[in-house]
């Protein structure tokens, strides 16, 4: 009895110290192993010098011949081609037909670039397919000839590819002769003493053709680097994961370790931190070696433009490697914890590595964009986001979706690893079965576990994203509203109910619906009718801080969508866009998820985490104001979480949510009638002062009523 009593009186600080000592022990043991040192130090030193040689050969092959560069110049038609060829000839440039032979003088090597000219009706497509290096086209009609007796105002578009070194050099070379032609004409015109001639008779604009479309003919070199870095990070984490789980089980030391006065989850956490630390050290060593190699070889400007690789890009890529290492370390522990020996764990990891290579290789396909399902595809989204970071074209919305989905996958993998690691079959001679992971427990639970909640989120996030992009593109407005109802019901209703059934969690406890007093509902209505003003001002403040201006095209589409909404009965709109989302979202975020978080921690942790998750799901909907929606939705989630905690029920929050959504729909639906009466709200202006004052009074009054007539309840 004495040891049992002593164990129960252990203070939390002492448990943390024991966990810290165990984590340091695991990390020291794995870092002492020679195989870890080889992966950590020697592999980067050997790998990246070889890669630098490959990159140099790649650029040499892209440039074509070494001594005589040949640039392909394209015109849209014969008339423009003849006129522009005449302009360039006045600057001193002679053009040849494409694929024409231009022999060098005997005994000399020709180093002056050869400019080949030809007709290409679609210049952008020609650039994307690498058929031409530069395209020239006129803006407007060209004069019949260039005459220094008359004024000249000629505008030319110069198109090139910024991601191609040869195209950039060709554009600079053509610009040199356009400037020379400009100066030649200006000199001749000034001799006539004209006074109406503008200073620059010929103007042109450099137009970068993005690496878009499906016709790109080569693999983007910017996608290779993050893919290699991720593969090296995986390589560094594989051996520690095997040695700290299956290796210890084979050596017979795992049972002794599990007998220590530390929970099994704590032991797994120590091993997870050790594996993650080695993976991050490997990632840092590889990133540092890669940066030094690129800088020392002088390839920085070739790979990343004139600015080279910046510290900001390096920090962002390391953040992606940290994110990926957190996810893949947990996945490795899931696999290795189920193995009985080192060799068996290695056999399990071979298919895993092959599966991991597939999305990574897919991301190297030419012209592949980080959009759609790829945003939530593990590994592929990390590689593509790293490629876009190196190319300086990563978008905030895409980065947010990639980071959020990977974090959710990592949380689900950690929960799965904890479940496997805590199984009795892991410690003893029996072989753990994968069927144990989906077998329903015998005893029922009063609340879902954090592991079950993490699995729900990891499944719901890509499912919601996929359904929004597939069903949300329905043709008619009626089909779109119906698709929204189906998506909301399936993601936030069906999935949590299946999770409750699988884990025998009480539905009544997960989705708490106890009755509340009338003053609480009145307060919820007041807060719901005034909270939209706070959301609106939050969006305006975020736009001001970011300096964002909405695109005119997006505003036009938004107005068209609102116009289509007004063709639908108001009852259908309120049902599809106010009532159904409020009911199902509150059932999950303040019901299932809040209950899981509250059962494992304090109230404010549950409020904040559920609010951030609530904001995240609203931010992944395609919208130029994704970050603003994240902030405003998370703020609304904080209020709803506080109401859930104070009342112990999701009913008041559901009423609040319905009032909030419903009022916004009413203001949108009746905007023309309100504007005719001098009452109007736009997305680009702050609300009037009296409105804000009235809304603040209603908001504070509603919060006071909820606070006065409610009392927080224990989980």
The answer to whether 168 touches 160, Cβ cutoff 8 Å, is: yes
Q: pTM for the complete prediction?
A: 0.64
Dihedral (C-alpha) 414, 418, 419, 421: value to the nearest 10 degrees? Answer: 130
In this model, does residue 48 exceed pLDDT 70? no
Residue 451 included in any domain: yes
In 338-449, where does DSSP find H-type helix? Answer: 342-362, 380-390, 396-421, 424-427
Q: How many Å apart are CA 653 and CA 528, to the nearest integer?
A: 9
In this model, does residue 33 exceed pLDDT 60? yes
Same domain, 661 and 676: yes
Mean of pLDDT values over 281-302: 73
**Between residues 414 and 712, the one the model is more confident about:** 414
Q: With bands split at pLDDT 50, 70 and 90, how would you rate the model's confidence at 28? A: confident
Residue 6 included in any domain: no
Dihedral (C-alpha) 281, 287, 288, 294: value to the nearest 10 degrees? Answer: 160
Phi and psi of 37, rounded to 5°? -65, -40
pLDDT at 43: 62
Q: With bands split at pLDDT 50, 70 and 90, how would you rate the model's confidence at 541? A: confident
Residue 105 included in any domain: no
Same domain, 125 and 247: no
pLDDT at 637: 92
Beta bridge partners of 204: 156
In this model, does residue 2 exceed pLDDT 50? no
Residue 3 included in any domain: no
In this model, does residue 676 exceed pLDDT 70? yes
Domain termination residue (choose one: 191, 209, 227): 209
Same domain, 589 and 466: yes
Phi and psi of 472, rounded to 5°? -70, -15
Mean of pLDDT values over 180-206: 68
Same domain, 320 and 233: yes
**Between residues 207 and 289, the one the model is more confident about:** 289
**Domain extent for 236:** 19-61+219-439
Contacts of 122 (CB under 8 A, 6+ apart): none
Domain termination residue (choose one: 184, 209, 234): 209
- In this structure, what CATH number is given to the domain that contains residue 123? 3.40.190
Residue 290 included in any domain: yes
Same domain, 495 and 535: yes
Same domain, 466 and 325: no
pLDDT at 105: 45
The answer to whether 469 touches 372, Cβ cutoff 8 Å, is: yes
Same domain, 182 and 229: no
In this model, does residue 325 exceed pLDDT 70? yes
In this model, does residue 364 exceed pLDDT 50? yes
Same domain, 199 and 296: no
Same domain, 491 and 505: yes
pLDDT at 255: 67
In tens, the pLDDT along 441-476 reads: 777 778 888 878 888 888 888 888 878 777 655 567
Contacts of 519 (CB under 8 A, 6+ apart): 705, 708, 709
* pLDDT > 90 fraction of the chain, expressed in percent and rounded: 10
Mean of pLDDT values over 29-33: 68
Q: Which of 535, 706, 536 is nearest to 636 (CA)?
A: 535
Q: How many Å apart are CA 330 and CA 416, to the nearest integer?
A: 9
pLDDT at 213: 41
Beta bridge partners of 209: 161
pLDDT at 197: 58
Q: How are strands ordered across the β-sheet holding 154-161? A: 96-97, 114-119, 70-75, 134-138, 154-161, 202-209
Q: With bands split at pLDDT 50, 70 and 90, how would you rate the model's confidence at 579? A: very high
| DSSP-assigned letter for residue 96 | E
Which class for 190: exposed (0-12), middle (13-18), buried (19 or more C-beta within 10 A)?
A: exposed
Residue corresponding to tokens 């290492």 = 325
207: tokens are 């137009």
Residue 9 included in any domain: no
Same domain, 460 and 516: yes
Contacts of 147 (CB under 8 A, 6+ apart): none
Same domain, 395 and 456: no
Residue 379 included in any domain: yes
pLDDT at 108: 41
**Between residues 480 and 704, the one the model is more confident about:** 704
How many domains in the chain?
Answer: 3
Same domain, 32 and 147: no
Residue 5 included in any domain: no
Domain termination residue (choose one: 384, 416, 439): 439
pLDDT at 35: 63
Contacts of 298 (CB under 8 A, 6+ apart): none
Q: With bands split at pLDDT 50, 70 and 90, how would you rate the model's confidence at 214? A: very low
Mean of pLDDT values over 646-659: 92
């Amino acid at each position: 009895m004495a040891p049992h009593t002593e164990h129960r009186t252990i203070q939390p600080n002492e448990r943390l110290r024991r966990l810290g000592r165990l984590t340091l022990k695991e990390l020291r043991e794995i870092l002492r192993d020679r195989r870890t040192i080889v992966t950590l130090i020697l592999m980067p030193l050997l790998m990246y010098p070889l890669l630098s040689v490959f990159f140099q050969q790649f650029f040499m092959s892209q440039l074509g011949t070494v001594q005589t560069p040949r640039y392909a110049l394209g015109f849209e038609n014969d008339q423009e081609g003849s006129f522009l060829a005449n302009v360039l000839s006045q600057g001193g440039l002679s053009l040849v037909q494409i694929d024409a032979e231009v022999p060098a003088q005997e005994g000399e090597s020709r180093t002056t670039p050869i400019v080949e000219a030809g007709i290409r009706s679609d210049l952008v497509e020609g650039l994307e397919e690498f058929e031409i290096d530069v395209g020239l086209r006129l803006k407007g009609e060209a004069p019949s000839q260039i005459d220094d007796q008359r004024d000249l105002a000629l505008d030319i578009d110069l198109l090139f590819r910024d991601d191609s070194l040869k195209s950039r050099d060709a554009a600079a070379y053509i610009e040199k002769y356009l400037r020379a032609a400009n100066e030649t004409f200006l000199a001749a015109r000034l001799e006539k003493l004209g006074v109406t001639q503008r200073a620059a008779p010929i103007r042109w604009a450099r137009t970068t053709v993005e690496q878009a479309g499906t016709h790109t003919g080569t693999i983007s070199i910017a996608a290779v680097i993050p893919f290699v870095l991720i593969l090296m990070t995986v390589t560094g984490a594989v051996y520690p994961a095997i040695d700290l789980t299956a290796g210890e089980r084979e050596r017979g030391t795992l049972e002794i370790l599990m007998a220590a006065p530390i929970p099994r989850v704590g032991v797994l956490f120590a091993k997870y931190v050790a594996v993650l630390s080695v993976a991050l050290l490997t990632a840092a060593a590889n990133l540092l070696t890669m940066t030094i190699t690129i800088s020392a070889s002088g390839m920085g400007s070739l790979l990343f433009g004139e600015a080279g690789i910046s510290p900001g890009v390096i920090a962002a890529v390391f953040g992606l490697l940290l994110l990926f290492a957190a996810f893949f370390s947990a996945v490795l522990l899931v696999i290795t914890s189920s193995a009985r020996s080192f060799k068996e764990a290695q056999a399990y990891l071979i298919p895993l590595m092959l599966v991991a290579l597939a999305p990574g290789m897919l991301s190297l396909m030419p012209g592949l964009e980080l959009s759609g399902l790829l945003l939530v595809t593990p590994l592929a989204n990390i590689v593509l986001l790293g490629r876009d970071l190196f190319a300086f074209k990563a978008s905030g919305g895409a980065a947010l979706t990639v980071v959020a989905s990977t974090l959710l996958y990592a949380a689900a993998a950690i929960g799965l690893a904890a479940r496997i690691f805590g199984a009795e079959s892991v410690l003893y001679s029996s072989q753990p079965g994968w069927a144990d992971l989906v077998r329903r427990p015998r005893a029922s639970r009063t609340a879902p576990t954090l592991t079950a909640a993490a699995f729900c989120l990891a499944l719901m996030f890509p499912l919601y994203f996929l359904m929004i992009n597939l069903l949300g593109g329905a043709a008619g407005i009626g089909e779109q509203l119906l698709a929204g109802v189906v998506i909301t019901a399936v993601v936030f209703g069906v999935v949590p109910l299946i999770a409750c059934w699988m884990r025998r969690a009480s539905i009544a406890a997960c989705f708490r619906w106890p009755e509340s007093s009338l003053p609480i509902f009145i307060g919820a209505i007041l807060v719901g009718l005034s909270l939209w003003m706070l959301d609106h001002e939050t969006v305006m403040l975020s736009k001001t801080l970011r300096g964002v201006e909405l695109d005119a095209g997006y505003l036009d589409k938004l107005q068209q969508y609102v116009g289509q909404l007004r063709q639908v009965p108001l009852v259908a709109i309120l049902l599809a866009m106010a009532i159904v989302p409020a009911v199902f979202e509150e059932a999950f975020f303040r019901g299932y998820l809040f209950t899981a978080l509250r059962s494992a921690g304090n109230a404010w942790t549950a409020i904040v985490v559920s609010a951030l998750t609530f904001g995240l799901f609203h931010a992944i909907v395609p919208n130029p104001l994704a970050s603003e929606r994240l902030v405003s939705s998370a703020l609304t989630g904080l209020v709803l979480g506080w109401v859930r905690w104070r009342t112990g029920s999701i009913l008041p929050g559901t009423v609040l949510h319905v009032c909030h959504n419903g009022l916004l729909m009413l203001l949108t639906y009746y905007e023309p009638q309100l504007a005719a009466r001098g009452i109007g709200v736009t997305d680009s202006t702050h609300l009037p002062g009296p409105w804000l004052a009235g809304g603040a009074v209603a908001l504070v009054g509603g919060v006071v009523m909820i606070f006065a007539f409610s009392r927080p309840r224990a989980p």
